[in-house]
């Protein structure tokens, strides 16, 4: 019996590498992998040539241009342009060669800035986006809708998963590119090492977000490959949130930081609240298992 050929776009990144670790346990999968230096997914000719040669049956679209608030503010055109190119090329190449299933990984930033909480799937496009990462969000919405239209027009078989804020192994600890939880782990760990009497964080600390370790997303990907759904897309997360101030206090405690936490209110908070309704996910039989406290411990271990 021949194995299923799997291409994970972005397998060296946080989501892609977690997915590779998870799916590698399946003996029926054969992986065809290319790093960004070997295959530039923003190049249509190269992407199409790769798909024509390898003809994968299963594609996980986890490749993306990502960054923190400041990077998104500084380079919105780059985030929009590069992510549109990656998505367009991978999705169209998958359709052309007859990929059996594509799993697209989006983001909870697709929801409006003032979205009712918790955020239900039907709230998509009901309001204006958060300005600080609008370029990235627009690209992710385009990818979600592109797949929806491809399913309608071509009968293309694909799934859209929209996870909450992620953290975990292979996240960047570069403060310009890291996710908020990883950035806080670095800031507090460094402050402890340096004996700093205080630490200043962006915003007011009042913004609330939902956090899930990337390993749980990888489990969700594996689960829904085996248990596909009919909905346009699915929220993936815990369905509970914490304020950035609460998160900072917890990480401070776990890193042993006893100094003062200050807030630079001239800096943006980002989206006021991002907590997803995950009732559809639970109804379909999936729930994450690694708690925030356990996940923070893992991140501190990874950094130190």
Tokens representing 2 are 């021949």
Q: Strand 242-243 vs strand 208-209: parallel, antiparallel, or unpaired?
A: antiparallel
Q: What's the predicted TM-score (pTM) here?
A: 0.95
| Terminal C-alpha separation, the chain | 45
Q: How far apart are CA 97 and CA 84, in angstroms?
A: 20
**Which pLDDT value is given to residue 172?**
86
Contacts of 124 (CB under 8 A, 6+ apart): 110, 111, 141, 144, 233
How far is residue 234's CA from residue 119's CA, in Å, rounded to a whole number? 11
pLDDT at residue 1 in the model = 67
Catalytic residue among 136, 154, 223, 303: 136
Active site residue 136: yes
3-state secondary structure of 97: helix
**Mean pLDDT (10-residue bins), the chain, 304 residues:** 93 97 96 95 98 98 88 92 98 98 97 96 97 95 98 98 96 82 96 97 95 98 97 98 97 97 92 94 98 97 94
Confidence at residue 218, expressed as pLDDT on a 0 to 100 scale:
98
| Torsion from C-alpha of 285, 289, 292, 298, nearest 10 degrees | -140
Q: Which residues pair with 61 in a beta bridge?
A: 9, 104
**What are 242's strand-pairing partners?**
209
For residue 201, give the 3-state DSSP assignment: strand
CA distance 222 to 290: 16
């Amino acid at each position: 019996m021949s194995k299923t050929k799997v291409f994970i776009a972005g397998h060296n990144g946080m989501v892609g590498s977690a997915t590779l670790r998870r799916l590698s346990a399946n003996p029926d999968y054969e992986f065809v992998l290319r790093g960004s230096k070997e295959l530039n997914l923003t190049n249509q000719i190269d992407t199409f040539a790769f798909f024509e040669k390898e003809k994968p049956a299963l594609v996980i679209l986890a490749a993306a241009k990502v960054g923190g608030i400041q990077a998104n503010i500084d380079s919105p055109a780059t985030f929009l342009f590069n992510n549109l190119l990656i998505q367009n090329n991978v999705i169209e190449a998958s359709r052309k060669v007859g990929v059996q299933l594509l799993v697209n990984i989006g983001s909870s930033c697709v929801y409006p800035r003032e979205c009712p909480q918790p955020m239900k799937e039907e709230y998509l496009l009901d309001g204006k986006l958060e300005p600080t990462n609008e370029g990235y969000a627009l690209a992710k919405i385009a990818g979600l809708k592109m797949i929806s239209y491809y399913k309608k027009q071509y009968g293309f078989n694909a799934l859209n998963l929209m996870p909450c804020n992620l953290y975990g192994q292979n996240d960047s600890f570069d403060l310009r590119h890291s996710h908020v939880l990883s950035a806080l782990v670095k800031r507090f760990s460094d402050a402890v090492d340096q004996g700093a009497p205080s630490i200043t964080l962006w915003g007011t600390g009042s913004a609330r977000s939902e956090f899930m370790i990337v390993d749980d997303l990888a489990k969700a990907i594996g689960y829904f490959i085996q248990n596909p759904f009919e909905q346009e897309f699915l929220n993936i997360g815990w369905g509970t949130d914490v304020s950035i101030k609460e998160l900072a206090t917890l990480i401070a405690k776990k890193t042993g930081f006893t100094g003062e936490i200050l807030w630079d209110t001239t800096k943006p908070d980002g989206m006021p609240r991002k907590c997803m309704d995950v009732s559809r996910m639970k109804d379909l039989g999936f729930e994450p298992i690694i708690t925030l406290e356990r996940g923070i411990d893992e991140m501190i271990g990874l950094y130190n």
